[in-house]
Amino acid sequence: MRVLKFGGTSVANAQNIKLVLDIINQKSQKEPLVVVVSALSKVTDLLQMAASKAAANDDSFKEIVAEIEKKHLDILKEFIPVSAQSSLLSHVKRIVNHLETLLDGCYLLGELSDRTADTILSFGELLSSFVIAEALKQSNPNSMYKDSRELIKTNNQFGKAAVNFDLSNQLIQSYFSHQNASVVVLPGFIASSTEGIATTLGRGGSDYTAAILASALDASELEIWTDVNGMFTANPKIVKQAQPISNISYQEAMELSHFGAKVLYPPTIQPVLRKNIPIIIKNTFEPEAEGTYISNKEMAQTNPVKGISYIDNIALLTLEGSGMIGVTGSSKRLFEVLSSEHINVIFITQASSEHSICIGILNSDAEKAATAINKVFEVEILQNKIDPCIVESNLCIIALVGENMKNHQGLSGRMFSTLGKNNVNIRAIAQGASERNISAVINERDVKKALNTLHENFFEENTVQLNLFVMGVGNVGEKFIEQIHTQRKFLKDNLKINVRVIALSNSRKMHFDEEGISLKDWKESLQNGETAHIQNFINKAKELNLRNSIFVDITANATVSDVYADFLKQSIAVVTCNKIACSSAYSNYKKLKSLSRQYNAPFLFETNVGAGLPIIDTVKNLIASGDKVHKIQAVLSGSLNFIFNNFDEQNSFHDVVKEAGVQGFTEPDPKIDLSGVDVARKILILIRESGYEMDIEDIENNSFLPAACMETTNNEDFFKSLITHNSHFEGLLKEALEKDSRLKFVAQFENGKASVGLQLIPKDHPFYNLEGKDNIVLFYTDRYVDQPLLIKGAGAGAAVTASGIFADVIRIGNI
């Protein structure tokens, strides 16, 4: 004999019930079946709502009753021939009339007792099982209906009654020993006390009903039919990459179901475990899918972690004080008072110092529990030996579950380091001696990030998902997005990095998509986005609270650079080509570096100097390896190098500057490049990364631009001034030609002093043959004394800068 249980979604409507009947008819050809059914989807909630409304003297409960009646009558009409409908419809109406009478009583009395609530809630399964049994008889005449209340007996603990197994087993075995039907349909969830009063087995109790029957009948298997392909490695609604678990032990399944794996009601396992009856979780809507097989069968040891689960709506209660140290009975008094208040303890941890005990309970019980605890320990609290109970609400318990975890070292460390890396604060930790479960209490707002981070670490072949929040989609930003789109598959297949762009913003619009913006049509999505607002952008990124989040700043905007600290404090990494933050006041630069370390959030800005060249990274490695930089000489502006390489007797200075702008080598305001401010910022960043303290005001800027050019307030006037002062620029060129030299804008640092300015570079100097928009840097250090360390290459251009930003993003993925 085999026992099948079908959940609420499996019997939600006539269409689903047809699938259920097909499964039953197919399986009943091979062996006798016991079929347990839940209430139709949402009906138990409707009954609960109707009872609450009736007790509150709200007569709208009658509308709910009418809705429940219609649901069941419609299904009967769908399956039963018209000629046979009359008596069955009347039977349903009689059941509904009984329900309405009970609710009328609640309405008149203005109260709802636990006993009455159980009776009212039982109508969901009574109606669904009757309707499904009658529908089944149309295709299988050798099937029948049996009321579970006649077979399963409990105590009078209404709401979650305890089963009298001796009596129940005797009644079940006696009934089925005289039964020859191929299928017997029974309602789940409901039972009755030894006095015959209706009781219930707790929400989800239909699974329990099926397990009780399977155990009593020594069934070959217990099949739980639901709307998913078995138990998953995590909740698939929260973790999109969650995978079905093919085989799992009873103990692992029990742990996962206790921690919120809702496909299985936790008490279900105990009755069948004693008889070693396998449980199979199957999908009504994909009956051919493998499902999850739960048994004591020895399984190959692969991943020691079988699943990651959680319980939400948790409150953490802490009782602490010196009056508990060495005092026997404190724990006994604490748990006794909770027991007397019928409060279930979900989580316990106590320090070996005995100074404090932490317990996790449901949020809804927190106030009652704290009041009761404070009353029991009132004397100690008044004597200041124990502090009043501390309550922290809106928490969640996450758990790593696996039978073989005890045989693998370092799982706890791996779990907590993974959470810490993503700024998930752990409030309490518990691990049993069996090491089958490692639990941690965290903030409820962090549960999605925590589950996804842990699942990524333990189940996804070390694939790291990076979630990018990109601000600035001009020339460089557009190239950056294009490079991500082109390389996504390569990164995922070869580097195990999954890059998703979650947000895009320009100065006018911003667009968010938690599942990742399609990079094929991102421009259209951005155009149709909401009005851009930097604080709203920050708030949305915080609210999404995604793992491995990275803020990518591809602007030259000071306001944007001012918000880096806000992101770093949320453990959101920052990647930027914007030089303003790192060249701002030294105190701000140090603060950002400190926040990066404190919150374990990378702060990378390789493109601040040399676009895609590995200049900053090289300096970091030199310093980290114990070297010391004494002198730096560099051409750091690809824009100025392009300009002075192309400025000759045939091309005026004005025309070359214009062309540099057209090719994207200068900032939108070319004065930033030509004034030397941009170069000063770059050398300042290199000086700071070399370990020296300096501010921008300490750098001598020898500008080659006439004062009148610098005083212009817009680009149009600036370019006019270049024409006006053309003779000045021709004079600079003439002097260079006369001395057989080339003009280069050079940054240098030596003996604690720094300067930037235009220099005449002779033929024998390394800078002389620097072509196009290239940059070059010479580092003189303890190790590179006579011959400097030289880095040279393209130092400007949208594609090159974008590739440098992209490299920083990938670097974070590899950390």
What is the rounded CA–CA span in Å between residue 171 and residue 6?
23
What is the rounded CA–CA span in Å between residue 259 and residue 309?
5
What is the rounded CA–CA span in Å between residue 228 and residue 555?
46
Tens-digit pLDDT profile for residues 575-602: 999 999 999 999 999 999 999 999 989 9
pLDDT value at 433 more than 60: no
810 by Cβ neighbours in 10 Å (0-12 / 13-18 / 19+) ranks as: middle
Supply the pLDDT for residue 259.
65
Supply the pLDDT for residue 299.
64
Show the beta-strand stretches assigned E in 296-367. 307-320, 347-350, 356-362
Q: Once rounded to an integer, what is the mean pLDDT over residues 778-802?
A: 90
What is the rounded CA–CA span in Å between residue 806 and residue 466?
12
Supply the pLDDT for residue 413.
86
DSSP classification of residue 364: G
Select the more confidently predicted residue: 40 or 434.
40
Q: Determine how β-strand 390-401 pairs with β-strand 307-320.
A: antiparallel
What is the rounded CA–CA span in Å between residue 181 and residue 143?
5
Structure tokens at 522: 């991102």
> Residue 14's pLDDT band (boundaries 50, 70, 90)?
very high
pLDDT value at 326 more than 80: no
Domains (ranges, CATH) in the chain?
2-227 (3.40.1160.10), 307-459 (3.30.2130.10), 464-611 (3.40.50.720), 615-793 (3.30.360.10)
State the helix-helix crossing angle for 43-55 and 114-137, rounded to 10 degrees: 150
Enter the pTM of the model: 0.72
Q: What residue type is assigned to position 185 of the chain?
A: V
Cα 478 to chain centroid, rounded: 28
Buried/exposed code over 749-763 (b: 16+ C-beta within 10 A; e: otherwise): beeeebbbbbbbbee
Residue the block writes with tokens 């399944």:
253
Cβ–Cβ < 8 Å for 234, 547: no
Show the beta-strand stretches assigned E in 363-506. 390-401, 426-431, 437-443, 464-471, 497-505
pLDDT value at 253 more than 90: no
Supply the pLDDT for residue 434.
57
DSSP classification of residue 348: E
Q: Once rounded to an integer, what is the mean pLDDT over residues 642-663?
A: 91
Q: H or E element: which one contains 635?
A: strand 629-635
Q: Could you tell me which residues come within 8 angstroms of residue 242 by beta carbon, excluding any fewer than 6 positions away?
A: 232, 233, 234, 235, 236, 455, 459
Supply the pLDDT for residue 589.
97
> Residue 611's pLDDT band (boundaries 50, 70, 90)?
confident
Structure tokens at 220: 């070959």
* Number of C-beta neighbours around residue 37 at 10 A: 30
Structure tokens at 547: 């793992």
What is the rounded CA–CA span in Å between residue 215 and residue 276?
9
Supply the pLDDT for residue 141.
94
Residue the block writes with tokens 């809702």:
262
Spatial strand order in the sheet of 153-154: 153-154, 190-193, 198-200
**Quick one: three-class SS letters along 707-768?**
HHHHCCCCHHHHHHHHHHCHHHHHHHHHHHHHCCCEEEEEEEEECCEEEEEEEEECCCCCCC
Q: Once rounded to an integer, what is the mean pLDDT over residues 611-632?
A: 94
Distance set, CA 238 to CA 258, 448, 451, 797 (Å) = 18, 6, 8, 41
* Number of C-beta neighbours around residue 728 at 10 A: 15
| Catalytic machinery residues | 682
Helices (H) and strands (E) in the chain, counts: 29, 30
Q: Once rounded to an integer, what is the mean pLDDT over residues 549-570?
A: 95
* Number of C-beta neighbours around residue 429 at 10 A: 15
Structure tokens at 614: 């590995």
Q: What residue type is assigned to position 279 of the chain?
A: I
Supply the pLDDT for residue 203.
76
Supply the pLDDT for residue 157.
87
> Residue 160's pLDDT band (boundaries 50, 70, 90)?
confident
Cβ–Cβ < 8 Å for 13, 102: no
The full DSSP string for 242-310 is --B-SEEEHHHHHHHHHTT-TTS-GGGHHHHHHHT--EEEEETT-TTS--EEEES-------S--EEEE
What is the rounded CA–CA span in Å between residue 418 and residue 406?
19
Structure tokens at 161: 């009654």
What is the rounded CA–CA span in Å between residue 193 and residue 203?
18
> Residue 269's pLDDT band (boundaries 50, 70, 90)?
confident
Q: Could you tell me which residues come within 8 angstroms of residue 340 by beta carbon, excluding any fewer than 6 positions away?
A: 372
Distance set, CA 199 to CA 121, 195, 734 (Å) = 9, 11, 102
Q: Once rounded to an integer, what is the mean pLDDT over residues 201-208?
A: 86
Select the more confidently predicted residue: 744 or 668.
744
Spatial strand order in the sheet of 437-443: 347-350, 356-362, 307-320, 390-401, 437-443, 426-431
What is the rounded CA–CA span in Å between residue 13 and residue 41?
8
Q: H or E element: which one contains 221?
A: strand 221-226
Q: Once rounded to an integer, what is the mean pLDDT over residues 361-379?
A: 93
Supply the pLDDT for residue 352.
63
Across the chain, mean pLDDT equals 91
Supply the pLDDT for residue 261.
64
> Residue 796's pLDDT band (boundaries 50, 70, 90)?
confident
Select the more confidently predicted residue: 407 or 179.
179
Supply the pLDDT for residue 128.
96
Q: Could you tell me which residues come within 8 angstroms of residue 367 by beta carbon, excluding any fewer than 6 positions away?
A: 391
Structure tokens at 164: 């009298």
Spatial strand order in the sheet of 742-750: 699-702, 753-761, 742-750, 629-635, 774-781, 789-794
Supply the pLDDT for residue 457.
86
361 by Cβ neighbours in 10 Å (0-12 / 13-18 / 19+) ranks as: buried
pLDDT value at 260 more than 80: no
Tens-digit pLDDT profile for residues 492-547: 889 889 999 999 999 999 999 999 999 999 999 999 999 999 999 999 999 999 98
399 by Cβ neighbours in 10 Å (0-12 / 13-18 / 19+) ranks as: buried
Percentage of residues in the chain with pLDDT exceeding 70? 97
Buried/exposed code over 566-604 (b: 16+ C-beta within 10 A; e: otherwise): bbbebbbbbbbbbbbbbbbebebbebbeebbeebebbbb
pLDDT value at 185 more than 90: yes
Among residues 791, 755, 802, 483, the alpha carbon closest in space to that of 616 is found at 791
Furthest CA-CA distance within the chain: 117
Distance set, CA 383 to CA 321, 322, 327, 378, 386 (Å) = 11, 11, 15, 9, 8
